[in-house]
Structures are given as structure tokens and as C-alpha cells.
Amino acid sequence: MKIHCESIHHYIHWMKTNWFFSFAGFSDAEWYCILKHRIGDKTGLGQVLSAEHGELLFDILKRRQHAKNFLFAVPKCLWQLPGFAEGQIDWFLGNNNIKIEGYERDMVLDDLARDADLYPFIRYLKDRKVVMVGPEPLRPFAKGTLKCQRFIEISTPNLHLEEGGIDRTVENILKHPVKGHYLISAGVSAAVIIDRIHDKIPYSWFIDCGSIWDAFVGIGGQRQWRAELYADKEKYNQWLKDNLEGKQRR
């Protein structure tokens, strides 16, 4: 698989020039589901890996593989892991006659959050129409900081296991569609949600943001860098300031 390594500034430029696209996350948990690896286990976020959900994700790969504006966001590090990931994803895609290109997700999501470099993205979003889909703890950040037009609450972390959970979420989104930016933080359900609304709301962007907003509301301490932030109030406050106001020379 060819993997494009674009900076956040590329995506912001594409959005400013009105190139409408989806950025659907296919990270480790999604590939585990697709390849039926560790089925039944839980991720660090508490998501249960599901073979049935893997079939939904596999279907997206097949249907969207030639769609130029449906970007498959993948973590490049998966291709560097020994054992499970080394060659298995590429073999699986080739064996199923699927040809997709990936867009490296960590450098524009997790890495930016860790390094307090989200300011350009946040600054861009503050002047746009935004809808956030995510768990309840994100509501104050969505409505207060980002000034989102709508906040659509989901259960967490296993929406994909709830009977009709994804369907209800999609229906809720489509009740009052907004032409704008959809920020989806719904774990392994995100790609399926994005796939189902991609063709339904024109002139919009659909972005799987993963857990990048969690640190703003003090949740998700399973990642070491976030746990370290929460343990150091001064460091945490500086991190917030850098993300919301931009880094200043110190």
C-alpha cells in the first residue's frame, strides 16, 4: 500500500479550496477486526474487537477503493510492527483484489495532539460550521471551545456492539444536516458512520478525529503522554494554551 504522509496544513489547504473529502480511520483496532485478529479482546480504550464489525469495514474497503475523495487514514507504524502487521495487511488487500492508498493519520491526529500542535486545525475550525459526534465528556469542548453547530452524543466505547447503535447515530446526524465539517470521535464505529453519511450531505468534510480531543477534557489517561499531562498541572495548562492560542517563544 502506498501511504501519503501529508501535514495538517495540506488538509487545511484542501478544505479552504473546497475540496470535499472524507478522512476515515483504519487504525490498528479496525485492521484487527477486518483480519479477525484478537477477536473478543479489548483495546486500551475498552473497545471489543468484533469480526462482524470487521465485515462492515471490509465492505467499505471494497466499495470505496476507487473513490478519490474517500481517504483511508492509516497509521504507518502498523507496517513496521513484527509478527501481526508485517506484510499481512498488504497480503490481505492483494488477496482480495483491493487497491487502496493510505493517508498517514498519526502525524495529523495523535502526534499533533501529543506535541501541542493542534492550533492551526483548531483555529481553522473556529470560523467554520462544525458538527461533532462523540461521547458526552466532549460536549463542553465542542460547544464551548469549537462553537460547534451541533453535538451528537454517542455511547462509548462500544457503539458498534449496540443493536442499531450506528443506525441511530446516522439517523440523528441526517435529521438536521449541516453543510460543513463533521468531526467523528466514535472509535471503530467512525469509519462506518462516515461511509454512511459521505454521500448524503453535500459540500462537507467527514473526519475521523479519533481521541485527539480527549486530553482537552481530561479523559483517556491510557495513553502515557496524556497521563503525564494530567499529573502535572502546569504542564497541562501550558499544553492547553499552546493548542488553543498557538505556541509562543519561551
pLDDT tens string for the chain (250 positions)? Answer: 899 999 999 999 999 999 999 999 999 999 999 999 889 999 888 899 999 999 999 999 999 999 999 999 999 888 766 666 668 898 999 999 999 999 999 999 999 999 999 999 999 999 999 999 999 999 999 999 999 999 999 987 899 999 999 999 999 999 999 999 999 999 999 999 999 999 999 999 999 999 999 999 988 767 889 989 999 999 999 999 999 999 985 5
What does each C-alpha distance from 99 to 66, 140, 162, 201 come to in angstroms? 8, 40, 31, 26
Q: Which three cell numbers stand for residue 176?
A: 438536521
| E-assigned strand segments in 38-195 | 70-74, 102-104, 130-135, 150-154, 181-184
| E-assigned strand segments in 159-229 | 181-184, 205-208
Q: Report the candidate in 40, 31, 7, 45 with the shortest Cα–Cα distance to residue 81.
A: 31
